[in-house]
Amino acid sequence: MSLRRGGLLVAFAVHVVGCASSAPALVVATGDTTSPSSAVSRYLALFDGRIWAYDEEDEETKTGGIFVTRARKLTGARFSLTTGERARIVEMRADGVATENGIYLLKMPLAVGAEWPGEHGSNVRVAAVDKVVQVPAGTFAGCVETVENLASPMGGENPLRRITTQFCPDVGIASLRVEVWEQGKHAGERAVLRSFGEPVTIVK
């Protein structure tokens, strides 16, 4: 199964196919820094107008590109996250961050071994809470790593799909890897954070 045909699950469960957009020339961490506060909110760092630019690579073909996710604040603690032509609404809650259909991206407690239901019958587990993540955007400490497994209906050692996500404080998603197994074959695709912040406005 080609991950590009199936879509890469990136940026808070927004489906991205191929290179959804091009990265801005420069992003800087300035502007609106007020976001609904919760115990997990700093691991997603949702601010109105914030942009995350990612490098994407197919692990099999070693080909890739760049895509961008943008956040827009809606009413209350709700945000729209747009990647290319696809958008997803997420909501900050007291016990975590959930999508519009009630599926949690992060959920309290953020403790190793904690679990909650994911999309399409998958299971999400907190694998680490103190990861050091190094990506083109920088080196970040104290990151939370989650592993989402979708069990194969045929059973077996490998899941049908595995998504490993690293959320870093005051940054958001710094790294994401999607793996699939089909007919005994493994394929993987990875996205790593290149830059994040507010778009630069050039005043002439």
- 10 found inside a domain: yes
pLDDT-flagged residues of the chain (< 70): 1-37, 154-157, 200-204
Structural domain containing residue 67: 3-199
* Alpha-carbon gap, residue 11 to 173, rounded angstroms: 7
Position 27 scores a pLDDT of 33
| Pair of tokens at residue 67 | 């895509």
Position 183 scores a pLDDT of 76
- 129 found inside a domain: yes
Contacts for 14 with CB less than 8 Å, ≥ 6 apart: 69, 81, 82, 83, 86, 87, 88
pTM: 0.81
Position 151 scores a pLDDT of 85
- 186 found inside a domain: yes
- 108 found inside a domain: yes
Position 11 scores a pLDDT of 34
Select from 136, 200, 201, 202 the least CA-distant residue to 171.
136
The CATH number of whichever domain residue 155 belongs to comes to 2.40.360
Position 24 scores a pLDDT of 34
Query: What's the number of domains the chain is made of?
Result: 1
- 149 found inside a domain: yes
CB 105 within 8 A of CB 173: no
Position 114 scores a pLDDT of 97
- 19 found inside a domain: yes
Position 158 scores a pLDDT of 73
Q: How far apart are the first and last CA of the chain?
A: 49
| Pair of tokens at residue 83 | 């990647």
Position 156 scores a pLDDT of 65
- 204 found inside a domain: no
Contacts for 57 with CB less than 8 Å, ≥ 6 apart: 63, 64, 189, 190, 191
The b-or-e profile of 137-173 (16+ CB within 10 A means b, else e) is: beebeebbbbbbbbeeeeeeebbbbbbbbbbbbebbb
